[in-house]
Homo-oligomer: A and B are copies of this chain.
Amino acid sequence: MTYGQGTVALPARLPYFQVMVTTAHNHQLHEGEALSNAAQTALEKAGEQWTTMRASVFEALSQFEKPASAYDIAEAVSKSQQRRVAANSVYRILDLFVGANVAMRVESKNAYIANAHPDCMHDCIFLVCSGCGSATHVDDDKISDGLRAAARKAGFNPVRPVMEVHGTCADCG
Task: Write the residues of chain A forming the contact surface with B, with a CB cutoff of 8 angstroms.
Answer: 20, 22, 107-108, 125, 127, 129-130, 136, 138, 140, 142-143, 146-148, 150-151, 153-170, 173
Contacts and interface: CB of A to CB of B under 8 A. Distances in A.
Given A127-B151, A150-B125, A156 B140 contact: no
A156 B130 contact: no
A158 to B, nearest CB: 4
Nearest to A20: B154
A160 B167 contact: yes
Contacts of A166: 158-162
A48 B153 CA distance: 37
Contacts of A160: 165-167
18 contacts: A107-B164, A108-B108, A108-B162, A125-B151, A138-B150, A142-B146, A143-B143, A143-B146, A143-B150, A147-B163, A148-B165, A151-B167, A158-B166, A159-B166, A159-B168, A160-B167, A161-B164, A161-B166
